[in-house]
Chains A and B, each alone.
Chain A
């Protein structure tokens, strides 16, 4: 079961809303599908992204995947700890393995994301 308090995308990102900031990462399912994550490329603060734009890249030993912004917004902070410890994404995908925080989330976009039950159903289909 995935955390109930988050919203999700079909591309296996999660979003945690916290006032006017949104924290974004990839789900445990995505991390396990990729395998041992060895590198995460994240944007610098201040960059703005449209919804579903590519904001970064995650690499495992033998695969690479683009990261898509679940909602639009400007980057407040990227998780610098992942540069030295990309394995945090595997070990704690919803906690220390977070990737970026965006400012001023758009409520309409958030409402359009999957809830935990819908995401659970999605990954159950495989």
Chain B
């Protein structure tokens, strides 16, 4: 047992105190017929060997490419202070602050998080974190149904496909989701189709609880959020804005254009990509919806001596008290990631955050110009911040060939949206403050070479993905019998 304290003598003392000979007696109530077959797993691995195995696995991932990949998860500079502070055991080895007297650190940090995110989105109430942007968006959509007592939500097709899928799954219990199409051509191409939205809202037999749209949207485009909100409200529906938090340093916040709820992915605020999580689901609302917002809330109060203090509040909305009538089943949240976001914002400050957003936009303009110079055009003409789609024939093939040249050329949209023929020949590319001019030059040169069919010159060192290297593998014999070496 690598972390256990008990010596053989300790175990003997405990057994003796219980008057039993073997710990097996404590398991006698498991019916004999139902006792487990032998746990067919390898022997314990000493830390030295385990560390080497883990390093070997990590080394088989390639993270050294010139990356233009965003699509909901963004590479940013994370100030060194963020992780140094997160590594304090007082933060990461505590649990939910059920005992406020000895949890003021976590409680105050969550209150500050609520305040910081409240500033960014310009809304009153911020939930103390959800799993990720997709789950937060699904919870936001459910909120609109509870608040309006209606059962149908409209989600823009230009919202991240994973978020749309999550809303669908969360609505699997009987609520309805309809998709708002995007404009196909013209100056508004790639943004939410307002005429179609108006039509969907006009079906009086199926009143709409909420309208969900993203800013920027999945294609990086800026949406007419105020107009979408106006249409939603005119039909008695609530308006959910799906936002990217760094952009809120420079883009109008949801509160300013009348959104009732903001949801989004907090990962850009100091959280590493980590192949999918843990991330940070942002969820905020107006005061009017405070009873409907799921997840924990921390409020300021005083102790009985009048000292300022913080405590979880309005807890009777939650599953541990309200059970089947709770606003949501959420229990474990992403508190440590909320802390990361707070430390990030405190360290980088308002001007730093603005620089992050503006630098990403500047790099994107640089990329757009460099691509135009080799004849590669944007797929959609409308305004964008730091991410846009480009038209590239045989995009998936080109994407793979660029990988061999050390360039991660964003996302082949056909990989995310295989059913949409209009996206078959497109790459979604993004820049942030960590993108360099050199990387842009490499990307554009490699793309030019691949598209013009010239033979490759000087393939990047280390190119070509390793396949099937199982030197360190724990081979899974079968799902049923598990693992052996």
Contacts and interface: CB of A to CB of B under 8 A. Distances in A.
Interface stretch (B60-68, B141-149, B315-323): B315-323
Contacts of A41: 291
A61 interface: yes
Interface in A25-82: 38-39, 41, 59-64
Contacts of A61: 315-316
A59 B291 CA distance: 11
A62 B291 CA distance: 15
B311 to A, nearest CB: 9
A38 B317 CA distance: 12
Contacts of B315: 61-62
Contacts of B314: 38-39
Nearest to A60: B316
Main secondary structure of the interface of B (DSSP, over half): helix
A29 B417 CA distance: 60
Contacts of B291: 39, 41
Interface string B59-97: 000000000000000000000000000000000000000
A92 B279 CA distance: 47
A62 B322 CA distance: 10
A70 to B, nearest CB: 21
B147 to A, nearest CB: 13
Main secondary structure of the interface of A (DSSP, over half): strand
A62 B316 CA distance: 6
Interface in B318-358: 321-322, 325
Nearest to A58: B316
A98 to B, nearest CB: 21
Chain A CB within 10 Å, residue with most, of B291, B315, B322: B315
Interface in B266-320: 291, 314-316
A39 B316 CA distance: 9
Contacts of A63: 316, 321
A38 B313 CA distance: 10
A61 B321 CA distance: 10
Contacts of B325: 64
A103 B459 CA distance: 85
A39 B322 CA distance: 14
Interface string B404-447: 00000000000000000000000000000000000000000000
A39 B314 CA distance: 9
A40 to B, nearest CB: 11
A62 B314 CA distance: 8
Chain B CB within 10 Å, residue with most, of A38, A39, A64: A64
A26 to B, nearest CB: 15
A61 B314 CA distance: 7
A41 B316 CA distance: 12
A41 B292 CA distance: 12
Nearest to B321: A64
A61 B325 CA distance: 17
A1 to B, nearest CB: 30
Contacts of A64: 316, 321-322, 325
A64 B321 CA distance: 7
Contacts of A38: 314, 316
A64 B291 CA distance: 13
A60 B315 CA distance: 9
A59 B315 CA distance: 9
Contacts of A59: 316
A38 B315 CA distance: 10
B323 to A, nearest CB: 9
Contacts of B322: 64
B244 to A, nearest CB: 34
Interface string A86-102: 00000000000000000
A48 B234 CA distance: 29
Contacts of B321: 62-64
Contacts of B316: 38-39, 59-64
Contacts of A39: 291, 314, 316
A60 B316 CA distance: 7
A55 B291 CA distance: 17
Nearest to B323: A64
Nearest to B320: A62
A38 B311 CA distance: 15
A63 B321 CA distance: 6
B128 to A, nearest CB: 18
A80 to B, nearest CB: 16
A59 B321 CA distance: 10
A88 B255 CA distance: 34
A64 B314 CA distance: 11
A53 to B, nearest CB: 15
A59 B325 CA distance: 13
A27 B321 CA distance: 22
19 contacts: A38-B314, A38-B316, A39-B291, A39-B314, A39-B316, A41-B291, A59-B316, A60-B316, A61-B315, A61-B316, A62-B315, A62-B316, A62-B321, A63-B316, A63-B321, A64-B316, A64-B321, A64-B322, A64-B325
Interface of B: 291, 314-316, 321-322, 325
Please give me the 3 A-B residue pairs with the lowest Cβ-Cβ distance, nearest first. Answer: A59-B316, A64-B316, A64-B322
Interface of A: 38-39, 41, 59-64
Given A39-B291, A59-B316, A64-B322, 7 more contacts: A39-B314, A41-B291, A60-B316, A62-B321, A63-B316, A63-B321, A64-B316
